[in-house]
Amino acid sequence: MTGLRYVYAVCRPFGTPLQAQLTGVGGEPPRLLPHGDLVAVVSHVPEGEFAEKPLRANLENLDWLTAVARAHQGVIDALTTVTTPLPLRLGTVFRDDSGVRTMLEAREEDFRRTLDRLEGRVEWGVKVFLEEEREPRAPAPAAKPASGRDYLRQRRQQTRSRDDAWQQAEIFATDLHRALSESAEDSRLHAPQNPTLSGATGRNVLNAAYLVPRVKSEEFVERVDRTKDGIPGIRVELTGPWAAYSFAGEESAGKEEA
C-alpha cells in the first residue's frame, strides 16, 4: 500500500494481538514494524493530508485535528492494555518503513532507557477546580447609587473574599499534590487548563500527572477518592490510567522538579 507512515508509539515486542477491529488515523488498521528489540506501531496515511505542507495547514483545522487525535488516542489506549507504549507526538510521519527504522535506530538508546523506566507503569491525571459558586457574586444594584466610599468598600470586600477562596484552594491543591507525589514514582505539573478549550467549569488550580506502578493504581485511586469531598466548593477530578504521555520525554531529575 502506498502512502506515508504515521507512527503512534514505540514499544517492546509483545505477544498479545491487538483488537482485530482496531483502526487508527484515517480508518487504517495499525501494524507492528519491528526493528531489533523495538517495535514501532504504524499505519498508512495519505500524502494529501500528511505531507509536510498539508499537515501544517491541517493542524490549524480543529475538526481535522480532533478526529486525528481521537484515532491516535484509540490506538494508544489499545496498546496500553497489552504492553507499555511510549507514545510519540501527534502527527509523527515518515516517508516509508525505512524512514521509521532509521528513526528507531537513531533514537534506540533513548527509547530503551525510557521504556525501561516506564515498564509496568501508567499515568494518572488529577485536577483541582475552584467551583464558580465559590466566587463572590456582585451585590444586586441598590435603589440609589452608593457613595464612592461605599462602592470602594464593597469592591475591597469582594476582592478579599475572592482572594481568600483562591488561597484556600491553592493550599488544598499544594497539600494534595505533595501527598499524591508520595504515592507516585514521578509527577509533572502542567499549566492550568483553558476552560474555553476544555469545557470544564470552575477555575483550574492544579493540573498534574503522576507516574504510578500499575499494581499500585488501586491504592493511588483510593487516596484521591478520600480527598474529593474535602472542602465544599473545591472539585477534584481523576483521569486515567493512561499511557505515560507526561513522562515520555527526558528523564526528570526527581519529584522536586514538579
122, 242 Cβ separation under 8 angstroms: yes
Q: Over 80: is that where the pLDDT of 186 sits?
A: yes
Predicted local distance difference test score (pLDDT) of residue 258: 30
Residue 76 burial (10 A CB sphere; 0-12, 13-18, 19+): buried
Number of domains in the chain: 2
Classify residue 219 by its DSSP letter.
H
Domain co-membership, 144 together with 223: yes
Domain co-membership, 128 together with 252: yes
How much of the chain, in percent, has pLDDT values that exceed 70?
81
The pLDDT tens digits of the residues spanning 91-131 come to 999 999 999 999 999 999 999 999 999 999 999 999 999 98
Domain co-membership, 86 together with 185: no
Domain co-membership, 26 together with 111: yes
> What does the block give as the cell for 218?
488501586
Q: Over 50: is that where the pLDDT of 135 sits?
A: no
Domain co-membership, 243 together with 176: yes
The pLDDT tens digits of the residues spanning 208-244 come to 999 999 999 999 999 998 887 667 788 999 999 999 9
Residue/partner pairs of 217-223 with CB below 8 Å, 24 or more apart: 217/122, 217/124, 217/241, 219/183, 220/124, 220/180, 220/183, 220/184, 221/124, 223/179, 223/180, 223/183
**Segment among 5-9, 201-205, 251-255 with least mean pLDDT:** 251-255
30, 41 Cβ separation under 8 angstroms: yes
Peptide linkage before 13 cis (omega within 30 of 0): no
**Full residue range of the structural domain in which residue 45 is found:** 4-118
Residue 226 burial (10 A CB sphere; 0-12, 13-18, 19+): exposed
Q: How many angstroms separate the CA atoms of 192 and 207, rounded? A: 6
Domain co-membership, 93 together with 76: yes
pLDDT band at 205 (very low <50, low <70, confident <90, very high): very high
How much of the chain, in percent, has pLDDT values that exceed 90?
65
Domain co-membership, 19 together with 97: yes
Domain co-membership, 155 together with 99: no
Q: How many angstroms separate the CA atoms of 245 and 242, rounded? A: 8
Domain co-membership, 48 together with 166: no
Question: Which of 83, 98, 118 corresponds to the end of one domain?
Answer: 118
The whole-model pTM stands at 0.74
Q: How many angstroms separate the CA atoms of 152 and 109, rounded? A: 63
Domain co-membership, 170 together with 90: no
